[in-house]
Structure 1
Amino acid sequence: MEIRDEPFEVEVVDSHLVFEGRVWDVREDRFRYNDHELVRHYIDHTGAVAVVAIDDEDRVLLIQQYRHPIRTRDWEIPAGLLDIEGEDPLDTARRELAEEVDLVAEHWERLGRMAPTPGGSDEIIHLFLATGLSAAPHVHAREAEEADIRIEWVPLDDAVAAVMGGEVANGAMMLGIMLAAERRRASARA
């Protein structure tokens, strides 16, 4: 049996905005499913990208920044919103790596995608592996929560240990680290 998510269309009877926010909105959909009419509220999200940047010493770039909803300075990988209409996720990943940590990458690889909260948001995060890193041509100004981002280069094995030990909670970082580590293990076996 092949395990694969399957797109599935339902009849949407009504869909409207119930809250318009600065970054994303809340939408209410009324739809038919299995002979029932259901109502669901969810975050109408632009989508995002996250980048596992690994240097030539097999270290992954982690950033720590304040995230107000969870009242934590959590460890993450560079990430950002798909907030430019029509921009390809890979182009967004390139832009975010330069904007958040002033790096460019020679090699890019798609690691996968994730739906962090499929019961409450339509957000999809596209995960990328970036290698062949070098300094971006110019440094970006940072403000708000990004003004005091802490940057650390961590051995990939130590990052995996932090994920496995329950020391970190950022889902995109956890999945990205584990996918990159598994890709490295698979390459070593080949």
Structure 2
Amino acid sequence: MFAIPLSDTLPAELRPLEPWHAEEFLAHMDRARENLDQFIAFASLTTDLESSRATLRRYADMAAADTGRIYGIWLDGTLVGGVMFPNFDVKHLNCEIGVWAEPAGEGLGLISAGVRHLIEYAVVERGMQRIEWFSSTRNARSRAVAQRAGMRLDGVLRSYYLHNGIRHDKEVWSILADEWLAGDLRPAH
């Protein structure tokens, strides 16, 4: 296992989320559900220990197939959020980053730090050329993370998806490898 520190001032780290974390992940999803369920179904898919294990097993299978990954963010030993590659396309060298947090993990810069580590990994270690970010136009916090990561708004897909009875427009953000490498947002090694 690895752990990457995410802050110089807080005891926070980024670690892989694996099926054996199912109980901890479920407790975290219970704390995060109200936050997340406004925009995405991620938390609503994890409602008991079996579904928690299944979610983490799905990402473990994706990691084994090199098509996705999931990482948790722990603050002072408690899982408070995470970052993930819901899509990792090694053939076309494109990937998508997603994030989530419970209230205790918000506003501390931990999600943004995790995103920077994922972009750095995708570009430098894996040769990805395009990193994408999708979010509801109603999700200002998600938009702010994309902007802090140096991403540009590619466009808006109007009335793109239905969630909880509400049609959402979806923003598409991206950063290209050469933009990332030329920027000053890269994490220190």
Identify the TM-score tier after normalising by the shorter chain.
Answer: under 0.3
TM superposition score normalised by structure 1: 0.24
Task: Kindly name which structure, 1 or 2, has the bigger radius of gyration based on alpha carbons.
Answer: 1
Write 1 or 2 for the structure with the bigger share of helix: 2
Structure with the bigger RCO (C-alpha within 8 Å, sep 6+) is 1
Q: TM-score, normalised by structure 2?
A: 0.24
